[in-house]
Chains A and B, each alone.
Chain A
Amino acid sequence: MLRIGDYEFSSRLLLGTGKYPDFDIQRKAVDISGTEILTFSVRRMNIFEAGQPNFLENLDIEKYTLLPNTAGAKTAEEAVRIAKLAKASGLCDMVKVEVIGCQKTLLPDPVETLKASEELVKEGFTVLPYTSDDVLLARRLEELGCHAIMPGASPIGSGQGIINPLNLSFIIEQCQVPVIVDAGIGTPSDAAIAMELGAAGVLLNTAVSGAKDPVKMAEAMKLSIEAGRLGFEAGRIPKKRYATASSPVEGMSFS
C-alpha cells in the first residue's frame, strides 16, 4: 500500500497524461497501467475554441486521484499560483511542485522548489515536490512537511533511466515519507530498478506516451513496477566475487 498524506493507493505507478498520440490510446494506456494517480498541467483555455475536447472528458476521473503539476512555473510564486488555480477546480488537493530552473535540462530550481513547497504545505495542500536527486534537499523538503519526495532519475523526457542509483538510495534510506522516482524513466527495467532500490513508486509519462505502442508499454511498466517492488520486499542476495554452487556437492554417484 502506498500512503501519501491522507491518501492510500494499491498501485505504485503514477502516470502522466501528456503527449499521447490520441485520447483513445491514452484512455487504454491509463486503464491497463492500473494507475490510480494521474498527473496533468494547468493552462489557459483557448476561449475561441470552446468545442475542443479535453482529455479529462475521455477519462472516468472519479476513478483517479488527480495530481496537477506546476509545470511552466519558474518561481515559487508562480508555482503557488498554479497550485491554487488547480485546487479551485474542486477536483484535487494534491500538487506536484515543479519549478524548472534551466530550460535546456529541465532540472528543478531547488531554492524556488523549497519555497513553493513550504508555502503549499502551509496552505494545506498534499505536496509532492519534483526535486533533483540530492539527499539533503530531500531531507529539507521532508522537514517542511512535504508528503512525498520525487527525485528525478535523469532529465525529464530523456529516457536515460537511473543515472545515479547511489543518490537515489541515499534519499530512500533517509526519508520517512514515500520517495517516488519521477522523470527520466525510459524502459520497464529502469522502473524495476527504481523499485528494487526501495522507491515507494514511479512517476512516468513519455516512456509510455512516446512508445511505439503506448498501451503495451503501460502494461509493461505496471508489471515491472510490481516485480521490482516484490523483489525489494523479498530482499536480494548479496553480490559475491566468486561462484557458489546451487546443487549439493555431497552424494555424487561417481566419487
Chain B
Amino acid sequence: MKLTVNGVHVVVPSTVETVTELLQHFELNQKVIIVELNAEIVGKARHAETRISLGDKIELVHFVGGG
C-alpha cells in the first residue's frame, strides 16, 4: 500500500492496516511519537482503532533538543 510518511512516498505491506501496525512496521512503537493522519492528530488511545488507507498522508513527529 502506498502512503506518504513525513513527505516521503513509502510502500508498506498490505498487512499494515492501522496506525499501531504502521508504527510497528517502522519499529517506532516504543518511542514517544505523535501521529497526524491527513492533517488530523490521532491520539495514542486511538492508534489501534484508526485505520490507514491508500494515499494517506501521515506525519510522525517527536521531540528533539531545542531552546
Contacts and interface: CB of A to CB of B under 8 A. Distances in A.
Given A47-B26, A50-B28, A84 B63 contact: no
A45 B32 CA distance: 10
A45 B65 contact: no
Contacts of B63: 40-43, 54-56, 66, 68, 86, 89
Interface in A39-74: 39-45, 47-48, 50-51, 54-56, 66, 68-69, 71
B6 A16 contact: no
A136 interface: no
Interface stretch (B13-21, B36-44, B49-57): B36-44
Contact of B66 (A71, A84, A91): A71
Interface string A75-104: 000000000111011110000000000000
Contact of A44 (B27, B32, B61, B66): B61
Interface in A1-47: 16-20, 26, 39-45, 47
A45 B28 contact: yes
A88 B27 contact: no
A88 B34 contact: yes
Contact of A54 (B6, B34, B64, B67): B64
A203 interface: yes
Contacts of A220: none
Interface residues of B, number: 25
A224 interface: no
Nearest to A50: B27
B32 A91 contact: yes
A70 to B, nearest CB: 10
B33 interface: yes
A205 interface: yes
B60 interface: yes
Nearest to B42: A88
Given A18-B66, A56-B63, A156-B67, A47 B28 contact: yes
A206 B67 CA distance: 8
Contacts of A204: 67
A11 B27 CA distance: 37
A187 B63 CA distance: 27
Interface of B: 5-8, 10, 26-28, 31-34, 36, 41, 43-44, 59-67
